[in-house]
A and B are shown apart, each in its own frame.
Chain A
Amino acid sequence: MSEETKPTEAAEESQTMWLRSERAEAAAPAAASITDAPSPPVPAPAAEAVWAAARASHADAPAPRAPRPLLSAWIDERDGGDSTYFFGRIIPMPMYTVIFAVLAVITLVEVIISELPEGFLGTLLLVALSLAKAVLVVLFYMHLRSDSRFFAAALILPLIIGLISAMFLLAVPTTGYPY
């Protein structure tokens, strides 16, 4: 039984305790005494000598930069989240609610446009409005505006690849040779 649980414990500890930080280096002597590794083949001081030799090889890592929120010039939270700065106005509602109101209005406009006679302008507007909705949800509800830029890359890269492939599918005649 205990054999089965051992890797799990190690893994859980890896999730909570074993993540990089500059402070971890400061706390290294305390963290070095790992208790759940029974009968280590090499004593910890010997291993620590290896790390010391490696540490001699490089200077301190640069500190990470804090990201700046997108769109904060126009829309932002105020009063600890109870009101919202929205294009020059202070609205006494949480930001999430303000964004929801905008989304609802855009949806209504979209439905109205779709009931008007079909045209190029209408289609363009529909695409633009739905894009605006998607961007609002992604930026504010999915917190992309303040989260890591890597998250944005994880969204934009597949969108580009997906759009290229979709455009290609639309451009190519369905039966290959058009004649």
Chain B
Amino acid sequence: MSEARLEAGVHHAAVHNDSLKFGMWLFLASEVIIFTVLIAAYVVFSLDNRGIVKQIHESTINVLGLRLPSVFLVALNTFFLLTSSWTLVMGLREAERGSRKGLAQWITYTAILGIVFLVFQYIEYGILAHEGVVINGTGPLAEFGMRFYTPTAIHGAHVLVGVLWAFWVIRQANRGAYDQNPVGVEVFGLYWHFVDVVWIVIFTVVYLI
């Protein structure tokens, strides 16, 4: 009898994990729609105003005395975000192998990379604002600005939430909350990777095309 109950308990845990992950997926489903609206508001503009978009894409930035295309900074940022996703799944791998220390270490990398992403986004906003791309005002640069800043800033807010969540996961990992069942890391991972996927789309649609 006790063995049957134990097995039933394992099954229950599996269903519980499935519930948590499915709940996160459904929440992300609604996030898909929100980002669709915000990105569509940008694309409607960019298709009709190729000149302004080109002008901003072809501007250059000054990095340590080198004139580089403006896409350099954001490409670096994309790379950071992709790397943070990788460190996260490596952390999950450690968690599944039962290593508290490894998990906390890899998630720390994720959090740091998220912070670096936000810092670079802040620098990038500064450069653009200096060039006259503002969120409120008049003129074509402001029209571009409001449609550019809204999706990217809301994405940045999601990254910020993810970083805070990462710190929570590190704290829980050190307390041993994921020793038996690392689903908490996996649910956080779903959120973080989704934010990464949104950035993949924004990077292509807003910065490259």
Chain A positions within 8 Å of B, measured between CB atoms, are: 15-21, 23-24, 26-27, 30-31, 81, 94, 96-97, 99-100, 103-104, 107, 110-111, 113-115, 118, 123, 126-127, 129-130, 133-134, 137-138, 140-143, 147-148, 150-151, 154-155, 157-159, 161-163, 165-166, 169-170, 174
A52 CA to B193 CA, complexed, in Å: 47
Task: Tell whether, in the assembled complex, residue A21 and residue B86 are in contact, meaning their CB atoms are under 8 Å apart.
Answer: no
Main secondary structure on chain B at its contact with chain A? helix
5 contacts between A and B (CB under 8 A): A17-B12, A21-B15, A107-B79, A157-B29, A165-B40
A7 CA to B209 CA, complexed, in Å: 54
Cβ of B131 under 8 Å from chain A: no
A111 with B75, Cβ < 8 A, contacts A23-B11, A130-B200, A147-B21 known = yes
Task: Tell whether, in the assembled complex, residue B208 and residue A110 are in contact, meaning their CB atoms are under 8 Å apart.
Answer: yes
Chain B positions within 8 Å of A, measured between CB atoms, are: 1, 4-5, 7-9, 11-13, 15-16, 18-19, 21-22, 25-26, 28-30, 32-33, 36-37, 39-41, 43-44, 47-48, 54, 57, 69, 71, 75, 78-79, 82-83, 85-86, 88-90, 93, 186, 189-190, 193-194, 196-197, 200-201, 203-205, 207-209
Contacts of B18 in A (CB 8 A): 148
A114 with B82, Cβ < 8 A, contacts A141-B193, A162-B33, A162-B36 known = no
